[in-house]
Amino acid sequence: MRIEEVFWLYIWLIILANTGVALYGLVMRPKVLKKIACLTIIADTSFLILALIGYRFKYPLTPYIITNWSPDNETLSSFIEKSVDPLPPTLTITAVVINLSITILLVFLSIRLYEIYGTLNVRKIAMLKKSKSVSER
């Protein structure tokens, strides 16, 4: 195995481990803020995957610029070979903004949850809701 293949295998294993730990925290941790943090970790891991999808292995790393107004087929094929697909970075930037707004909304909702129930433990909130609905009957 070449060193590049080992490096990419290592990156994908770290991504898999990161996602596994975040999913474990999302399912097993009872605190709301920990669940929000795990959701953010999962989203950040997906952003890393999008960045890796858009990565190019072709060198040179300098931007390829077409200097003439009517390029020939050779120039265009060279440009296509060396250019980076702009869609993954665009989607990543959009997803980061959406993730930030959703995280702010979830934190705001957890503040309201704490004001209403006095705890951020999901199990205690479920017990409080169950006792409240039983007492209303």
Query: Strand, coil or helix: what is 38?
Result: helix
The residue with greater pLDDT, 86 or 15, is 15
91 is in which domain, residue-wise?
3-136
Overall domain count for the chain: 1
Mean pLDDT across the stretch 43-47? 93
Tokens 């060279």, residue located: 78
CA 51 to chain centre: 10
| Per-residue pLDDT, 8 | 84
Picking from 46, 25, 40, the residue whose alpha carbon sits closest to that of residue 106 is 40
Mean pLDDT across the stretch 96-102? 96
Question: Which residues pair with residue 72 across a beta bridge?
Answer: none
| Per-residue pLDDT, 20 | 96
Task: Label residue 76 by pLDDT band (50, 70, 90).
Answer: confident
Give residue 93's identity as a one-letter amino acid code. Answer: I
